[in-house]
Amino acid sequence: MIKNNQQLLNRIHVVLDAVVMVIAYMLAWFFRFRSGFFALDAWYLSLQAYMRALIFVVPGYLILYYAFQLYTPKRVQGRRLEAWHVVQANVTGIACFIMILYLRHQTDYSRKMLFVFLCINIFLDVLMRNVIRIFLRKIRKNGLNQKQILLIGYSRAAEEYIDRIIQNPEWGYTVRGILADNMPRGTMYRGYKVIGRIDNLSIILPENRLDEIVITLGLAEYHKLERIVGMCEKSGVHTKFIPDYNNVIPTKPYTEDIQGLPVINIRRVPLHDPLNRFMKRGVDIFGATVALILFSPVMLGTMIAIKVSSPGPLIFKQERVGLKNKPFMMYKFRSMVVQTEEEEKKGWTTKNDPRVTRVGKFIRKTSIDELPQLFNVFKGDMSLVGPRPERTQFVEQFKEEIPRYMVKHQVRPGLTGWAQVNGYRGDTSIRKRIDCDLYYVENWTLGLDFKILIMTFFKGFVNKNAY
């Protein structure tokens, strides 16, 4: 059974973690006191004196590794998430170590040495875990260390799950078959067969040859769920449930507990959290200030060029739809000849549009015309990063044509966004743009914002689709 393999792997992991920890600790001592990179005091503790602390450090760190889920199965867990857990556990561990030294008035331990240990241990532990991950994925691709699973119910969820298993052989999942009442026996999907009816589960479970049961019932069969779960729980086989509501609730729902009652929220929006909003707003104000200082010569030159090249105002104001569907006036450098409000609403700018001025063509291509939106960021109408805001008439049109279009308005619109750095700017697919916007709304982190800003500098300013 695969669970025995997992127990053995966990034990090996614990031993390797301990070995890596000791090696990192010794390397940190040599690097601090013998490498010549650091100035030395007249006296310092010996390696043997430092090593005595490992009696408490190693067990303490292993407990932290367990607490930060570093010994859970990682067949489908990403490397970045595991690395982040390693960092969290190590930072917590070193903070506790230093606090204990402070409380015990141990001033002889070098804090620099502990910092070096932190860096080396994180590096070696992440490296070791990735080597193990590569090894396991390789042997799983070759048919070893496989997890035997059975699907209960034929549905879109079952097909999508099988698709992912086929696309990722390194997960090491082997589907023994599908039990279904709504499809005849022998029905095949991508090489996997319906081997019987759901009632056959009472015969299959006592054989105890399965590592996992995956319930993939269709919505119409949910009345069978209680009986199936009861049978699986009685047998002791690990059971998963994949809901068949992707087409009904096509998003990332999350569950909260209300006094023992599980409640499914249809959409998780990280920026609904007050702390996340506060952090993002702080970054916006700081970033907009720095950007205005850096780009002030460019903005001054642009204003002069606009004034000289064509009559009219320097700044073009246009109503856009922002956070919580509220309209606001968005600022841009004027790149077109002055028009009436009716002419502006006719449609998007097209290639070789005669309304675009010579200066306007350049500043649109290089996105310089967007710089006044830094003032929108200061006002709180916009953010540095977020879905691009759209005009009111197009919002009314798209919300009827494109599913989930209005979800983008649950966060502030941005100067740049995930869609823009992925090439969906100007005259490109609205549906793909919305897919990117929804990904951003549901997966926001400060790290993602910084990544988008960096990508914008490297490939986001020049817009080949701007006319």
Interval 355-407: pLDDT, tens: 778 888 888 888 888 999 999 999 999 999 999 999 988 898 888 888 788 88
Q: Encode pLDDT of 275-305 as tens digits.
A: 999 999 999 999 999 999 999 999 999 999 9
What is the residue extent of each domain of the chain? 2-141, 147-248, 272-460
CA separation for the pair 158, 181 (Å, rounded): 14
Q: Which two tokens stand for residue 398?
A: 């798209």
Q: How much is the pLDDT for 167?
A: 83
Indicate the range of 58-67, 162-171, 213-222 predicted with least confidence. Answer: 162-171
* Residue 291, pLDDT score: 92
CATH architecture assignment, domain 147-248: 3-Layer(aba) Sandwich (3.40)
Cα distances from 252 to residues 233, 388, 435, in angstroms, run: 27, 22, 13
Mean pLDDT of the chain: 85
Q: Does pLDDT of 1 surpass 60?
A: no
Q: What is the mean pLDDT of residues 458-466?
A: 61
What local confidence, expressed as pLDDT, does residue 320 receive? 93
The four Cα atoms 294, 298, 301, 302 give a dihedral, to 10 degrees, of -130
Instruction: Compute the distance between CA of residue 135 and CA of residue 144 in angstroms, rounded to an integer.
Output: 11
Instruction: Give the whole-angstrom CA distance, residue 151 versus residue 30.
Output: 55
pLDDT at 460: 56
The pLDDT of 20-27, averaged and rounded, is: 93
CB atoms within 10 A of CB 34: 11
**In this predicted structure, what is the pLDDT of residue 152?**
94
CB-based contacts of 15: which residues, under 8 Å, 6+ apart? none
Q: What is the mean pLDDT of residues 87-100?
A: 91
- Residue 77's pLDDT is 65
Structure confidence by residue, pLDDT tens digits, 421-446:
888 776 677 888 898 999 999 889 98
Please state which of the ranges 31-40, 224-233, 375-384, 441-450 shows the lowest mean pLDDT: 31-40
Confidence band, pLDDT 50/70/90 cuts, at residue 340: low
pLDDT band at 345 (very low <50, low <70, confident <90, very high): low
pLDDT at position 38 over 80 = no
Cα(28)–Cα(109) distance, rounded to whole angstroms?
12
Give the model's pLDDT for residue 171: 78
**What is the average pLDDT across 13-33?**
90
- Per-residue pLDDT band at 74 (split at 50, 70, 90): low
Task: Give 132's pLDDT tier (boundaries 50, 70, 90).
Answer: confident
Among 197-201, 262-266, 325-329, the least confident range? 262-266
Per-residue pLDDT, averaged over 91-109, amounts to 85
Provide the token pair at 435: 């897919």
Residue 202 C-alpha from the chain's centroid: 40
Higher pLDDT: 319 or 76? It is: 319
Higher per-residue pLDDT: 104 or 450: 450
Say what the pLDDT of residue 6 is.
Answer: 63
pLDDT at 463 over 50: yes
